Copies of this chain bind each other. A is one copy, B any other.
Amino acid sequence: MTSTAQQEISVSSSSGSRPVSKDAIINLDHGDPTMFESFWKEVGEAADITIPSWRTLSYFSDVSNFCWFLQPEFAHEARRLHNLVGNAVADDRFLVIGTGSTQLFQASLFALSPSDAPEPMSVVSAVPYYSSFPRITDYLRSALYRWSGDASKFEGDAYIEVVCSPNNPDGSIREAVLKSSNGKTIHDLAYYWPQYTPITAAADHDIMLFTVSKLSGHAGTRVGWALVKDVEVAKKMVKFIELNTIGVSKDSQLRAATILKAISDGYEDPDLQTKPGLKMFEFGRRLLSMRWQKLREAVKASGIFTLPDFESVHCKFTGETTEACPAFAWLKCEREGKEDCADLFKKHKILTRGGGHFGVESNYARVSMVDRDETFDLFIERLMSLR
C-alpha cells in the first residue's frame, strides 16, 4: 500500500488560475468548482448578499438549538433544497453545520470514537478512496482513531467505514462493504446532486455529509452540513466544532443560505420558472454532459486511456433516464508496463492526481471536470494530441 506521509498534496502556482497560453500548465489536480461562476453571473443580484457591520457579532446563532452556532436561515434552506431534490431525508434529522465537510468528517470521527478506548478506532474506506481521508484521519496522531486503509481488506469488528457516493475519485455509486453490527458508517454525499448523478432515492443513513462547494461551486465559502439520526452523535459533533473553531462563520452561513435559496427559487418561484437559465442543476448537468462527451471522444481518439462506464438510470428529480456525469474523471492508462498516468500527464503539463493518493496503482489518475471552460477546453485539446 501507499504511504500517506509521502502522498502530500501540494498547492502550486497554477492552482485555481486560468491557463495563460496554449502551452501553459493545466491544473486539474484539485476539484476547484469554478465552472459554476458563469451560472452565478447569470443569476445576478438576486443571490448577492449584503451584511451590515453590526450584524452577527455574537458567538451564538440560536441557543434554543442543540447546534447553537447554526444560523436558522441556513438550516431552513438546506432542508428546503433536500425536499425539492429528494436526495436525502432532511426533516426530523439533526442538522450540524461545519466549516466545509472536511471539518464535519473529523467531527464524525470524534463523535463515533469512544473517548476512553485503549486502542484507536480503525477508519476505513474501499479503494479507490478520497485522497484526503488518510491524511485528515492521521495528521494529529490521535489516540481516538487511526487510518486503516482499504475497507475491503479490513478484518475486525469495530470500525468506522467512510462511504463516499457518488465516489471521489471514480464516480461509482457505493454502499458500505463492511456489515458488522459494531461498525459505524459515515456517508459522504458531497456529489449526490442531480448535476452529477441520477437521484434514485432519498438517502437516509446515520451520518450524511454535504458541502456547498460541490453543490453550487462556493468552495471558498467553507460551509458544509451533516444530517444525523442520533442526537448524542450530533451533540458530540457540535462539541468537536466548538473546540475546533468555536462554531462556523455566520457570514458564510448567511451567504450559503442566500445561495441555496436562489437555487430553490429557480425551481419554485413562479416569476423565475420561465427562465431556464436560472435552474442550477440543469446548467450543471448540461455543461458536465457536454464535457463528458468531449472527454470520451478524446479518450477514444487517444487509444491509450480508458474511463469508467456508467449505466443509464432514471432520475426522480429530472424525470429523465441519464448517465452519471461525475465531478472527476478517473482515467486509466492502458499502455503496457503500467505507466504512471499522472507522470505521463505531467510531461504534457497537465496536473492530475495519481492513483497512489487513492490507495491504488499509479496507472490511474483523477482529473477535475468542474474547472472553468477555458481550462477544460485546453485540456481536451492537449489530450487529443496525446497518442
Where the two chains meet, the residues of A that have a C-beta atom closer than 8 Å to any C-beta of B are: 11-17, 30, 32-34, 36-38, 40-41, 43-54, 56-61, 63-64, 68, 99-100, 102-103, 106, 110, 115, 132, 135-136, 139-144, 213, 217-223, 240, 242-252, 255, 258-259, 262
Instruction: Give Cα distance in the complex from A240 to B102, angstroms.
Output: 12
Q: Do the beta carbons of A60 and B41 come within 8 Å of each other?
A: no
Q: Do the beta carbons of A245 and B245 come within 8 Å of each other?
A: yes
Q: Do the beta carbons of B53 and A50 come within 8 Å of each other?
A: no
* A30 closest partner in B (C-beta): B59
Q: Report the minimal beta-carbon distance from A37 to chain B, rounded to whole angstroms.
A: 5
Q: Report the minimal beta-carbon distance from A350 to chain B, rounded to whole angstroms.
A: 17
With A142-B141, A221-B249, A222-B248 given, is the CB distance from A15 to B63 under 8 Å? yes
Query: Could you list some 28 contacts between A and B, CB below 8 A?
Result: A11-B60, A11-B242, A13-B63, A15-B60, A15-B63, A16-B63, A32-B59, A40-B54, A46-B53, A48-B51, A53-B258, A53-B262, A56-B218, A56-B220, A57-B217, A59-B220, A99-B99, A102-B246, A103-B245, A106-B244, A115-B141, A140-B142, A221-B249, A222-B248, A223-B249, A245-B245, A249-B249, A252-B252
Q: Do the beta carbons of A220 and B250 come within 8 Å of each other?
A: yes
Instruction: Give Cα distance in the complex from A30 to B68, angstroms.
Output: 13
Residues of B contacting A33 in the complex (Cβ-Cβ under 8 angstroms): 57
Query: Which of A12, A43, A64, A222 has the most CB atoms of chain B within a 10 A radius of its CB?
Result: A222
Query: Which of A37, A222, A249 has the most CB atoms of chain B within a 10 A radius of its CB?
Result: A249
Q: Report the minimal beta-carbon distance from A41 to chain B, rounded to whole angstroms.
A: 5
Q: Report the minimal beta-carbon distance from A67 to chain B, rounded to whole angstroms.
A: 10
Q: Do the beta carbons of B53 and A40 come within 8 Å of each other?
A: yes
Instruction: Give Cα distance in the complex from A245 to B240, angstroms.
Output: 13
Residues of B contacting A244 in the complex (Cβ-Cβ under 8 angstroms): 102-103, 106, 244
Q: Do the beta carbons of B246 and A100 come within 8 Å of each other?
A: yes
